[in-house]
Amino acid sequence: KQVLLKVENLYKHFPIKKGIIFSRQTGAVHAVDGISFNIYNGETLGLVGESGCGKSTTGRTILQLYRPTSGSVFFEGDDLAKLKGENLRRKRRDLQMIFQDPYASLNPRMTVGQIIGEPMEIHGTYKGAAQTKRVQDLLQLVGLNGAFANRYPHEFSGGQRQRIGVARALALEPKLIVCDEPISALDVSIQAQVVNLLEDLQSTLGLTYLFIAHDLSMVRHISDRIAVMYLGIIVELADRNELYANPRHPYTQALLSAVPYPDPFVEEKRKRIILEGDVPSPVNPPSGCRFRTRCQYAKEICAEEKPAFREISKDHFVACHFDISGQQSAS
Ligand code: SF4
Ligand code: MG
């Protein structure tokens, strides 16, 4: 396995001001609060968590759409967080993004051809007739008619618009694509089509994906490995099958208990876990383990010490002080 992207101790905080009079009293939203993981060449890493947990911020910070507060993002050995100007611009071609909302992410005043051609225009890769040809090829690659280039986004359905978004992301022949909830806004009947398209493109073009989603059912099919995020940190990371069969973090266990499981025998053993309370504010995250305010297994140490992100079995990482198998109940 070859590492394509290496995220090392990444932080992204957004400063906030609490009003004008108390302007000295400032704080920060700890959107991403110290995460480390690899993405291997050709794989799909699923990144899952509730809204506000920092998964989109992670995706955007990897692409340097947000600059990290601290930490590193190595892409093919270069630390993107340290690159600037022309060097960063050139590297950025290799990393692209597909957005959640196919309605909001396409400029309504531009034709489809202009939208897909724009990255080529900006980076000067294809111009004139060559660009027109390339736009048509890209439209066909995502299963659309090349003649759509002259039409406007509003003429298309949600699924078609997301295909246009995919074509634009492919315009610069990227290696890594951050897919930020690309199917969440689509009808259920269309979701599988877009996932299948992404999988086909991955094998044809040798792409690597970071696939962001808010629940575990959406990433199950497409991911090779899955990372679970809670309140700015990754609490569990494992191979897809291992994570579903043997979730070891209480938060993953709760998320998974809400997912319909295809194996009725396993379903029987799996009780629905209802999480009490809300996700705490990312401005003042709980001390020690961030999940402790909602964890049925929490003990004193959980408030005092931050659990290490440790490898409990080969390639299976968990941030919990205890070894909780999921079948046991709270004492
Ligand atoms: Fe629960 Fe403690 Fe483990 Fe955190 S460290 S998940 S609070 S048992
Ligand atoms: Mg999001």
Q: Whose CA is nearest to atom 5 of ligand 1?
A: 320
Nearest ligand for residue 293 CA: 1
**CA 170/CA 321 separation, integer angstroms:** 43
pTM of the model: 0.93
Ligand 1 pocket test target in 230, 234, 248, 289 with most atoms within 8 Å of CB? 289
Share of the chain above pLDDT 90, in %: 78
At 330, the pLDDT band (50, 70, 90 cuts) reads: very low
| Confidence band, pLDDT 50/70/90 cuts, at residue 271 | confident
Residues lining ligand 1, Cβ inside 6 A: 250, 289, 291-292, 295, 297-298, 302, 307, 320-322
CA of 326 to the centre of ligand 1 (A): 13
Mean pLDDT of 33-48: 97
C-alpha–C-alpha distance, residues 237 and 191, integer Å: 25
Give residue 331's pLDDT band: very low, low, confident or very high (50, 70, 90): very low
Write out pLDDT tens, residues 168-196: 999 999 999 999 999 988 988 899 999 99
pLDDT at 222: 93
Query: Which of 235, 295, 329 has the most ligand 1 atoms within 8 A of CB, as the residue to mutate?
Result: 295
In whole angstroms, give the CA distance from residue 202 to residue 223. 12
Cα 285 to ligand 1 centre (Å): 14
Q: Note the residue count of the chain.
A: 331
Alpha carbons 3 and 42: distance in angstroms, whole number: 10
Contact 57, 12 (CB under 8 A): yes
- Half-sphere exposure for 115 (CA within 13 Å, toward CB): 28
The domain locations on the chain are 3-94+175-319, 108-173
Please name the residue whose Cα sits nearest to atom 3 of ligand 1: 320
Instruction: Read off the amino acid at residue 298.
Output: A
Helix (H), strand (E), coil (C) string for 19-69: CCCCCCCEEEEEEEEEEEEEEECCCEEEEECCCCCCHHHHHHHHCCCCCCC
* pLDDT at residue 86 greater than cutoff 50: yes
Q: Which ligand 1 atom is at minimum distance from the Cα of 302?
A: 2
User: How much of the chain exceeds pLDDT 70, in percent?
Assistant: 92
Place of tokens 């808010």: 214
Beta strand spans in the chain (E): 3-17, 26-40, 44-48, 70-75, 78-79, 95-98, 176-180, 208-213, 225-230, 233-239, 309-313, 316-319
- pLDDT at residue 47 tops 80: yes
Token representation of residue 251: 């938060």
Superfamily of domain 3-94+175-319: P-loop containing nucleotide triphosphate hydrolases (3.40.50.300)
Query: Does an H or E element contain 88, and which?
Result: helix 85-92
Residue pair 191/183 in contact by the 8 Å Cβ criterion: yes
Adjacent-strand bridge partners of 26? 17
pLDDT tens-digit readout, 138-153: 999 999 999 999 999 9
Query: Which ligand is closest in space to the CA of residue 249?
Result: 1
Closest ligand 1 atom to residue 249 Cα is: 6
Pocket test for ligand 1, best of 291, 304, 317 (most atoms within 8 A of CB): 291
Å from CA of 58 to ligand 2 middle: 10
Residue 236: the pLDDT is 98
Protein residue closest via CA to atom 6 of ligand 1: 320
Ligand in closest contact with the CA of 180: 2
Average pLDDT over the chain, rounded to whole?
A: 91
The pLDDT assigned to 26 comes to 66
- Give the tokens for residue 248: 């070891």
How far does residue 68's CA lie from ligand 1's centre (Å)?
28
Q: What is the mean pLDDT of residues 303-310?
A: 96
Give buried/exposed letters for 32-43 (b at 16+ CB in 10 A, else e).
Answer: bbbbbbbbeebb
263 Cα to the center of ligand 1, angstroms: 28
CA 192, 136, 154, 106 torsion: positive or negative? positive
pLDDT band, residue 325 (cuts 50/70/90): confident
